[in-house]
Copies of this chain bind each other. A is one copy, B any other.
Amino acid sequence: MFDKVISPCRSRRLHRYFRNGKLTLLCLILTVIMFRAYLGAGRFGTPEKDLNEIRQTFAYLRRRAEPRRILESVSTASQFHSRVYRYADFDAARIFNDGDGGGVGELKRNESEPYRLGARISDWDNERLRWLRRNPKFPNFVGRRKPRVLLVTGSSPKPCENPVGDHYLLKSLKNKVDYCRLHGLEMFYNMALLDAEMSGFWAKLPLIRKLLVSHPEVELLWWMDSDAMFTDMAFELPWERYKNHNLILHGWDHKVYGEKHWVGLNTGSFLLRNCQWSLDLLDVWAPMGPVGKAREEAGEVLTRELKDRPVFEADDQSAMVYILATQREKWKDKVYLENAFYLHGYWGILVDRYEEMIDSYHPGLGDQRWPLVTHFVGCKPCGEFGDYSVERCLKQMNRAYNFGDNQILQMYGFGHKTLASRRVVRIRNDSGKPLEVEDEFGLLHPPFKSVKLNSY
């Protein structure tokens, strides 16, 4: 009807009027809200609610074109504050910029400021000692010369892009649960990104620091990647060997200190003592990690300074080589580069030999004859499917899992039909005398399971 009555010129003017009118109306609404907010609570509602409404309105106007995620982060953070944690102090203003893929809503750090893992702790050894004395029920040694060990691992909180990736993560976790149960280790599986800046392989640093300072009773923290699997269930770490060291990694002295080779050591499986030295090392390690300029520029330094390193952003492993090689006087005497057994075992040289190992050796050796850990470096079971090497990875991870699982199943008289098969078969007849079965590798009631997690 309007179209018939109103001329084109006039219709354009009317449109302009309406558009301006909408804007005017919006400003009016905002003004009213702001008035209410500053008038305070009472007949008009709470200031907090109003301030939230203002934030949301401005957020909407400002970010209308931005991904939905940001908008959600502002409004749901408010909900979170008011609903989930009434019992904790919480600064809602800190939920400012969640960012894409970021785990934590934090005020964006000024990139010129140095990155910090947390508030400075400088007297940890004494504080920890005092705590241990006050808490004798949580000793840091749980057996004759056996430290309390916390095995820490984890994976992304997101489902894997590769449909079978989570299945491998599940098996990998079961594998670690089995080893820890046999060896009296505690375990922490992390699925939370504690610091959005420290994403990917760097995510372990904030986690490790947090666990160390929250659990003074833990003597050694054993970090292990999710793509590393235990393949020797009978091998107990030689704890005494490390009593004077604070960082134990698989690697070679000459490769790290001599060649500065980028894979001279491996940070996919390492032990870190709970002490000030370790907190200091973490503080020195972390600054190459924050995503963005820091990580990229550090990557260039590492490629330039380390032997054979490809071009890519800084990773925690290369950073560690660099730190040890360039600050050896500070760290070297407390670092043990272990290569007598496979604290980390590169899968490429191990997985095709499993049958030969079964033929010739037995669990408990931990080394190239029967590796403690088979680590699938370079495999991405959680990533996109389709690459031939992903198929090889998955097939070999399955074999490695079964190789380790056979050592668990044999305790109960079973074993996988083949290293490729998920099916299990009996390997001995069922007698009516379960306590007289031969416990071939002594895994049912092993001496290294003798721990007292707390004393009386």
Contacts and interface: CB of A to CB of B under 8 A. Distances in A.
Contacts of A412: 194, 210-211, 214
Interface string A105-136: 11000000000001111000001100100010
B450 A454 contact: yes
Interface string A413-456: 11111111111111111111011010010001101011111111
A89 interface: yes
A379 interface: no
B80 A425 contact: yes
Interface residues of A, number: 112
Given A193-B424, A417-B76, A425-B95, A432 B166 contact: no
A94 interface: yes
A139 to B, nearest CB: 10
A201 to B, nearest CB: 19
Contact of A88 (B215, B423, B428, B447): B428
Number of copies: 2
A415 B95 CA distance: 13
Q: Please provide the 8 A-B residue pairs with the shortest distance between their CB atoms, ordered closest to farther.
A: A452-B452, A166-B166, A157-B422, A213-B434, A119-B432, A450-B454, A159-B167, A163-B163
Interface of A: 73, 76-77, 79-80, 83-91, 94-95, 98, 102-106, 118-121, 127-128, 131, 135, 137-138, 143-144, 155, 157-160, 163-164, 166-167, 169-171, 173-174, 177-178, 181, 184, 186-189, 191-194, 210-211, 213-217, 355, 358-359, 362, 405-406, 409-432, 434-435, 437, 440, 444-445, 447, 449-456
